[in-house]
Amino acid sequence: MGTINVGAENTAPIDLYYEDNGTGSPVVLLHGWPLDSRSWEPQLPALVQAGYRVVTYDRRGFGRSSRPSTGYDFDTLSADLSAVLESLDLRDVTLVGFSLGTGELARYIGQHGTERVASCVMIESLAPSFAKSETNPQGADQAAVAGVQQAIIADRYAWLTGLLGDFLNLEQYLGKRVSEETVRAMWQAGADASPLATWACPEGWLDDFTADIARIDVPTLVLHGTADRILSVEGQGRRLHAALPQARYVEIDGGPHVMCVTHADEVNRELLSFLGDPPAGKR
């Protein structure tokens, strides 16, 4: 474990906490909101045992990273990702983004290209856009963002309990695909996050990543759960596949938003299959 400095706020440094495990081709895991890199626990052993070097880090404001009041826009978050790749001198890397992490991944490629990137994986993607529109009627608008932010301010802990219910489809999967202990650990990770960071990140839901994903010229895997209540498969997964028809696209039947936990075996199988045999070359 270590830290990477990405700036300062007033008298305090802004440091990103990271862990660097295993050897082999590098894989960088970009976690979702409002959790932290520990949410990748179901994937970490499988990747390391398969012979990959796995780098996880906590987004600013979350987990064990610094908690500044600013920098939660995707331009800054993708710059943080760039700092991680450059500080560790990672090349030929596979970037794996989940949910909000797919926004960081897309914006990073949009701004920095794929010089350091060999392939990418987008799980429950925000891209091409989560903004409500005629082509994405299930998306979010400014009123929806404001409603979430108000709920966070009013009672962040109660809001988090409800959120995890929809993240994991708990009425269906609790005690079957996810334990009470795992839900408790996820709740604690969300509760430990900076309230300012938790409140600020939803503004990015309305970003348009169309120009960013147009720069993706490396092998790509898109995974989406058919039962995602947060980012619908119709509005997000299938639209991203239409925008990236050359990508390998897989729908996980019954997968909720955090299917990396509830459907870890299925996700890991697809992830390792892609890493072991991605489509060759850049387009």
Domains and CATH numbers, the chain: 2-276 (3.40.50.1820)
Judge whether 89 counts as a catalytic residue. no
| pLDDT tens, position by position, 133-178 | 988 999 999 999 999 999 999 999 999 999 999 999 999 999 999 9
Q: Which of 15, 228, 232, 241 is catalytic?
A: 228
Active-site choice (65, 99, 119, 125): 99
d(CA 205, CA 91): 29
Say whether pTM exceeds 0.95.
Answer: yes
Is 217:283 a contact under the CB 8 Å cutoff?
A: yes
Listed as own residue / partner, the contacts of 190-194 with beta carbons closer than 8 Å and 24 or more positions apart are: 190/34, 190/35, 190/160, 190/163, 190/164, 191/156, 191/157, 191/160, 192/36, 192/63, 193/34, 193/35, 193/36, 193/61, 193/62, 193/63, 194/61, 194/62, 194/67
Can you tell me the distance from the alpha carbon of 238 to that of 99, in angstroms, rounded to the nearest whole number? 15
- The pLDDT of 9-26, averaged and rounded, is 97
Nearest-angstrom CA–CA distance, 4 and 2: 7
Determine which one of 31, 224, 257, 263 is catalytic.
Answer: 257
Give pLDDT tens digits for 197-231. 999 999 999 999 999 999 999 999 999 999 999 99
Query: Annotated catalytic, 257?
Result: yes
The number of beta carbons lying within 10 Å of the beta carbon of residue 195 is 14
Active site residue 207: no
Instruction: Write down the mean pLDDT value for the chain.
Output: 96
